Structure 1
């Protein structure tokens, strides 16, 4: 009986994931993820160069 309960739980999770995946929400989330990746990459590079130049002055 316990195995049947877990099977039904995973079935519901899979159906919810399918609704979100087929509805276009996944594509929107992937696009936002790409934008955030490049924003944080630029911020990382700026902080890397700023920290390096700041250490030279000390």
Structure 2
């Protein structure tokens, strides 16, 4: 999922450079949403690992 967030960020940057504001803002929004979902799932995985008692 982090890969897709970075991919959309790159698309947004390239679209912004070429002046496609709508595409750039849409891609940046998607990248932000995917990054937040990634962070939430990462925190849940860390909490689940701590609750199960496994060593990191």
TM-score by length of 2: 0.58
More helix by share: 1
Figure out how many residues of one structure are paired with residues of the other and give that number.
Answer: 39
Larger RCO (CA under 8 A, 6+ residues apart): 2
Pick the structure with greater CA Rg.
Answer: 1
User: Mind listing any 5+ residue stretches in structure 1 that lack a counterpart?
Assistant: 1-13
Runs of 4+ residues deviating >2 angstroms: none
User: Mind listing any 5+ residue stretches in structure 2 that lack a counterpart?
Assistant: 1-13
